Chain A
Amino acid sequence: MSRAGQALRTSYLVASVAGVLFFALSVALLGVWPARLLDQQTAAMAPEKPLEPTTSEKRGRAVYAREGCAYCHTQQIRYLHADMSRFGAPTLAWETRRDTPHLWGTRRIGPDLSRVGGTRSLDWQYAHLYAPRAMVAASVMPGYPALFDGAPDRPRQEARDLVAYLDALGRARELAGPEGESRARAGCNCPDDEMQQMAFEGPLNAHPARAIRTPDAAPALAGGDLERGQALYGRHCATCHGTTGAGDGPGARYLAPAPAKLAEHAYATARLADVLWHGVAGSAMPAWRDYSTEDRAALALAVQALSAPRPEPEVPAHLVTLGREVYAANCAQCHGVDGDGRGSAAGKLTMAPANFTAQRLSLTEAVRVLREGVHGSPMAPWTTRLTDAERLAAAHYVRSLFRAAPPAMVGR
């Protein structure tokens, strides 16, 4: 064999060994070493006793994996402001310590789901899983009727597990609370690392649709383009509230409380501003914070246009006094003495009581609600406690509390 051949042979042998070593190096450098660092990070930054997934959530996770949900929904919020302002704090290593195998995903057709827990109501999740376009008209998500017994309100075990899993996403960090965050911050020990510090910036859950119960005022709305509002309404609201605002959209029947019959309400603009910004916590009504002020103003106009002004019914004199008495005795604890929804018991309820100064129900709707209650909300039927006349009087009375532009519109 020639000398050149021998040299070549030797160099090939060296290169072959080096090639295998490089592969080993890649696994060590990009697989094993990061895994060790991430383990250390998890140990240092996790809360003392982090929330463990329940059996149902684990089973739900398996359904999520099996159906390939991760191919359209990531579970990884990047250290980028665009991600953080939409979904919340970047995903920390310890948050994924029970995710075996990982479900990070590499494509977002739908939104990231890392912090979707508590963002949507459970009945919305069921209805949406069953028939996505009944809830979000433009969605391209496949429906999963196979997880149900023929209707969204008859979920099989798998659907219950899946929804339990979805509703738990992000919960471990949320429940770790401020103590957990400060422990993570201390464990990170990275005060000068700008990127790592981003994990502690801003709200934990920034989902713009998440309903928030807060006394903070929503940005005020004024003006607005009615036509634009009607187009937006048709695209985003009609699925639940119905095209005419009768509360009869395709998604309506599976939600409790049922979507508001917008045509039966007169709303103060401030009330609509509040609902569109904060959503209605305790119901399936999401917030629409990702829509511009102009769009929300346009939507408010469109909603107001759904209830045509009608001649006000005369209130018989004897009902006025009776109504005031019935209201004071039965309704004021929750709805407030002045009807502003801030009664002494209001804060303890799963859903904020209606603020009658900012919204006026039609008489028939008010009478119906008093008779039937609002299923899925703390508002009970009043047929056993009040007579027909008392309920009619109360209906008249709550309508009289409406102030189209109330002096102090804070919260509900």
Chain B
Amino acid sequence: MFGLVAAWQLIAPDLGRDVAWLGWGRVRYAHTQGIMLGWLANAFFAFLYHAVPILTGRPVTSARLGVWIFALWNLAVMAPGWVLVLAGVSQPLEWAEFPLVVDVVAVLALALAAVQFLPGFFRRGIESLYVSSWYIIGGLVFTLLSYPMGNVVPEFLPGAAGAAISGLWIHDAVGLFVTPMALAILYFVIPASTGRPVFSHFLSMLGFWLLFFLYPLNGTHHYVYSVIPMAAQLTAIVASALLGVTVVIVVTNLFLSMRGAGLLPKDPALRFVGTGTFFYVIVSLQGSAQAQMAVNETVHFTDWVVAHSHMAMLGFASFAAAGGLVHAWQRMPEARYNATAITWAYWMLVVGLVGMVVDLTIGGLVQGELWKSGAPWIDSVTASRVYWVARAHIGSILAAGFIALLVGLTTGPRGAGMSVRPAPSTDGRDEVAPRLAPATEAL
């Protein structure tokens, strides 16, 4: 919603002119934090409550702790974060806009989430952990490390040095929090839905470790051609290229695990998840490409990058999150479920996302070329208008898609999700857990 307001303000800049808290910059702050912490983090936590007991074979640490985490996250992080940012108390740091006081609570909540979800995994013994478990452990542990690094440190470091750390966080937020959680969902939902184990546990673990080794080394690619030492820039550029290779390994494994399900799987959860996998490989290869100096020179600072981040956060992460939620809803007899709305949500999100990415990518190329041509600056603004108008309308489709998703998960008959569940597997059991065990003996 904040994104939609910001998009409309770019084409109708006097919108909300007399309301200070609706200033474009503040709305933009609220938008990024809302998507990452408000939507994705909440969706991930919800999915963990479904997945962790299955993966560990025992309940999460404490139901009361769960209430606390929920309350902390939504009433002490999101609500005050939004209010403070709109009121003008914020940090001018991308993906870290909530002020320090909120950061403290967020780290506390993340620590509690680690206590809530992680102990079961360690009791089970790490040699028998399924890859989703690894991603969940990795995501929660590394976010605990990177969140304070990215949200607190740059607030106190000057100029170029602060930007270097900021760059790390911009990538760690995606790479060490959003990506692991989303991949945990993909690796969970795909075998559960197809009824077959993942294609290769070896590839899945290889991908896992490569991702965690390479992701943190990517951050400086946000400041190519800057005064930050060239060696650091080059390290990040090389790591970005290697990351692209790794993602191809991961996605190949995921797609091979899905074979037979068709291009448009019947199971809506698998459909969301498969589409998310597709966007994941596209956005990652795009990321590797745009980190290269020759490409970065033109597309950096343009809408191309905005398209890229939308594909990452909406295309990959949100489709994974939606798939995870639908999957969980299919297995809760008390959950309301509206199949029509879910179908609508899927198609509106696909159309909206593809439309926005194509639109802004072209817009970004136009901007980059105009800047290089030496044309007057305002020409790039005038030329962008058509893409911004399109984006604002496409944004409405996306927002409608999210509303449909909300409707799909909150209306309809209770337990209706159970009926759109994929048929039990050939062995007659619908137990998810056995399919998620790693094939230790396969080694």
Bound-complex Cα distance A29 to B162 (A): 14
Which stretch in A95-103, A298-306, A360-368, A377-385 binds the other chain?
Answer: A95-103
B217-250 residues at the A interface, CB under 8 angstroms: 217, 219-220, 222-230, 232, 235-236
Residues of A within 8 A of B230 (CB): 195
B24 close to A30 (CB less than 8 A)? no
A142 close to B17 (CB less than 8 A)? yes
Q: A23-B146, A79-B225 are in contact. Are A142 and B13 (CB under 8 A)?
A: yes
Which one of B126, B158, B209, B228 lies within 8 Å of A98 (CB-CB)?
A: B158
A111 close to B217 (CB less than 8 A)? no
Residue of A nearest to B224 (CB): A78
B377 close to A30 (CB less than 8 A)? no
Q: How many B residues are at the interface, by size bracket?
A: 35 or more
Interface core residue of B138, B159, B305 (most chain A CB under 10 Å): B159
Bound-complex Cα distance A133 to B225 (A): 33
B381 close to A138 (CB less than 8 A)? yes
Which one of B17, B90, B305 lies within 8 Å of A145 (CB-CB)?
A: B17
A33 close to B216 (CB less than 8 A)? no
Q: A86-B377, A142-B13 are in contact. Are A101 and B92 (CB under 8 A)?
A: yes
Does B142 have its Cβ within 8 Å of any Cβ on chain A?
yes
Does A231 have its Cβ within 8 Å of any Cβ on chain B?
no
Smallest beta-carbon distance A171→chain B, Å: 15
B250-304 residues at the A interface, CB under 8 angstroms: 297, 300-302
A49-70 residues at the B interface, CB under 8 angstroms: 64-70
Smallest beta-carbon distance A231→chain B, Å: 12
A101 close to B127 (CB less than 8 A)? no
Bound-complex Cα distance A6 to B381 (A): 61
Does A109 have its Cβ within 8 Å of any Cβ on chain B?
yes
Which one of B127, B163, B300, B388 lies within 8 Å of A5 (CB-CB)?
A: B127
Bound-complex Cα distance A37 to B229 (A): 7
Could you give, for residues 10-37 of chain B, a 1 whenever the CB lies within 8 Å of some chain A CB and a 0 otherwise? Answer: 1101101110100111101100000000
Residues of B within 8 A of A79 (CB): 225-227
Residues of B within 8 A of A64 (CB): 92
Residues of B within 8 A of A96 (CB): 158-160, 163
Smallest beta-carbon distance B128→chain A, Å: 8
Does A8 have its Cβ within 8 Å of any Cβ on chain B?
yes
Residues of B within 8 A of A151 (CB): none
Bound-complex Cα distance A19 to B209 (A): 7
Which stretch in B344-352, B368-376, B394-402, B427-435 binds the other chain?
Answer: B368-376
A68 close to B138 (CB less than 8 A)? no
Does B168 have its Cβ within 8 Å of any Cβ on chain A?
yes
B26 close to A145 (CB less than 8 A)? no
B376 close to A291 (CB less than 8 A)? yes
Bound-complex Cα distance A76 to B142 (A): 30
Residues of B within 8 A of A138 (CB): 378, 381-382
A108 close to B157 (CB less than 8 A)? no
B164 close to A34 (CB less than 8 A)? yes
Smallest beta-carbon distance B152→chain A, Å: 10
Residues of A within 8 A of B91 (CB): 65, 101
A38 close to B227 (CB less than 8 A)? yes
Bound-complex Cα distance A34 to B441 (A): 45
B24 close to A142 (CB less than 8 A)? yes
Residues of B within 8 A of A357 (CB): none
Which one of A34, A41, A106, A142 lies within 8 Å of B23 (CB-CB)?
A: A142
Smallest beta-carbon distance B13→chain A, Å: 5
Does A217 have its Cβ within 8 Å of any Cβ on chain B?
no
Q: A4-B440, A22-B217, A140-B13 are in contact. Are A68 and B26 (CB under 8 A)?
A: yes
Residue of A nearest to B227 (CB): A93
Residues of B within 8 A of A41 (CB): 227
Does B424 have its Cβ within 8 Å of any Cβ on chain A?
no
Bound-complex Cα distance A27 to B152 (A): 14
B25 close to A69 (CB less than 8 A)? yes
Bound-complex Cα distance A311 to B375 (A): 41
Bound-complex Cα distance A82 to B382 (A): 19
Q: A8-B443, A22-B216, A39-B161 are in contact. Are A144 and B23 (CB under 8 A)?
A: yes
A30 close to B168 (CB less than 8 A)? yes
Bound-complex Cα distance A318 to B385 (A): 61
A22 close to B160 (CB less than 8 A)? no
Q: A95-B159, A140-B381 are in contact. Are A23 and B216 (CB under 8 A)?
A: yes
B160 close to A109 (CB less than 8 A)? no
Q: A5-B127, A37-B229 are in contact. List 7 more A-B contacts (CB 8 A).
A: A23-B212, A72-B25, A82-B374, A101-B92, A102-B166, A138-B378, A290-B374
Q: Please list the residues of chain A having a beta carbon within 8 angstroms of any beta carbon in chain B.
A: 1-2, 4-9, 12-13, 15-16, 18-20, 22-23, 25-27, 29-31, 33-35, 37-39, 41, 64-72, 74, 76, 78-80, 82-83, 85-86, 90-93, 95-111, 132-133, 136, 138-146, 195, 199, 208, 236, 288, 290-291
Query: Top 5 A-B pairs ranked by shortest CB distance?
Result: A68-B25, A96-B159, A26-B216, A35-B161, A65-B92
Between-chain CB contacts (< 8 Å), 16 pairs: A1-B127, A7-B443, A12-B129, A19-B209, A23-B216, A26-B219, A33-B229, A65-B92, A66-B88, A67-B26, A95-B159, A101-B157, A106-B94, A142-B16, A142-B17, A144-B23
